[in-house]
Amino acid sequence: MRLTHLISLIAGLAAVSVPGRSIGAPFDPPALYLQWQRDPTTTMTIHWHTVGEAKSGLLHRPVGGAAWQAAAGTAQPFVGTDRWVHTVELTQLRPATDYEFCFSPGEKVFKFRTMPQDLRQPVRFVTGGDVYHEYKWMDLMYGLAGRLDPAFVVLGGDLAYAHGGTNEERITRWFDYFAAWKTNAIAPDGRIIPMLVTIGNHEVKGSAGQPPENARSFYTLFAAPGAQGYACLDFGKYLSLVLLDSNHTHPIVGAQTDWLKGQLAARTSIPHVIPFYHTPAYPGYRSETGSHAEQIRANWCPLFDQYGVKLVFENHDHCFKRTHPIRGGNLDPTGTVYLGDGAWGVNLRTPDPGKPKWYIAQSGPIRHLYLVTLYPEARHVLAFNEAGQIFDEVYQQLD
Ligand SMILES: [Fe+2]
Q: What is the pLDDT of residue 24?
A: 58
Q: What is the pLDDT of residue 11?
A: 38
Collapsed DSSP state (helix, strand, coil) of residue 28: coil
What is the whole-number distance in angstroms between the Cα of residue 207 and the centre of ligand 1?
A: 8
Please, what is the average pLDDT of the chain? 92
Q: What is the pLDDT of residue 253?
A: 97
pLDDT in tens, 208-259: 999 999 999 999 999 999 999 999 999 999 999 999 999 999 999 999 999 9
What is the whole-number distance in angstroms between the Cα of residue 287 and the centre of ligand 1?
A: 14
Q: What does pTM read for this prediction?
A: 0.93
What is the whole-number distance in angstroms between the Cα of residue 315 and the centre of ligand 1?
A: 7
pLDDT in tens, 312-348: 999 999 999 999 999 999 999 999 999 999 999 999 9
What is the whole-number distance in angstroms between the Cα of residue 178 and the centre of ligand 1?
A: 19
Question: Across the strands, what pairs with 239?
Answer: 235, 272
Q: What is the pLDDT of residue 228?
A: 95
Distance CA 272, CA 170 (A): 37
What is the whole-number distance in angstroms between the Cα of residue 283 and the centre of ligand 1?
A: 11
123-397 CATH pick, 3.60.21.10, 3.20.10.10, 3.40.50.620, 3.40.50.300: 3.60.21.10
Distance CA 370, CA 114 (A): 22
What is the whole-number distance in angstroms between the Cα of residue 201 and the centre of ligand 1?
A: 5
Task: Give residue limits of the domains in the chain.
Answer: 3-113, 123-397
pLDDT in tens, 259-317: 999 999 999 999 999 999 999 999 999 999 988 999 999 999 999 999 999 999 999 99
DSSP string of 45-99? EEEEEEES----EEEEEETT-SS-EEEE-EEEE-TTSSEEEEEEEE-SPPTT-EE
Is a pLDDT exceeding 90 seen at residue 100? yes
> Under CATH, what is the fold of the domain 3-113?
Immunoglobulin-like (2.60.40)
The CA-atom distances, in angstroms, between 183 and each of 115, 132, 158, 239 are 22, 15, 20, 28
Rounded to 5 degrees, φ, ψ at 276 are -135, 135
Q: What is the pLDDT of residue 23?
A: 52
Q: What is the pLDDT of residue 56?
A: 84
Q: What is the pLDDT of residue 376?
A: 97
Contacts of 3 (CB under 8 A, 6+ apart): none
The CA-atom distances, in angstroms, between 261 and each of 128, 238, 301 are 25, 19, 11
Q: What is the pLDDT of residue 6?
A: 36
What is the whole-number distance in angstroms between the Cα of residue 130 and the centre of ligand 1?
A: 7
User: What is the average per-residue pLDDT within 170-194?
Assistant: 96
Question: Across the strands, what pairs with 379?
Answer: 374, 396
Q: What is the pLDDT of residue 54?
A: 81
Q: What is the pLDDT of residue 66?
A: 80
User: What is the average per-residue pLDDT within 115-137?
Assistant: 98
Decide if 249 contacts 256 (C-beta within 8 A): no
Could you list which residues have their CB under 5 Å from ion ligand 1?
A: 158, 200-201, 316
Decide if 325 contacts 337 (C-beta within 8 A): yes
Rg (CA), the chain: 21
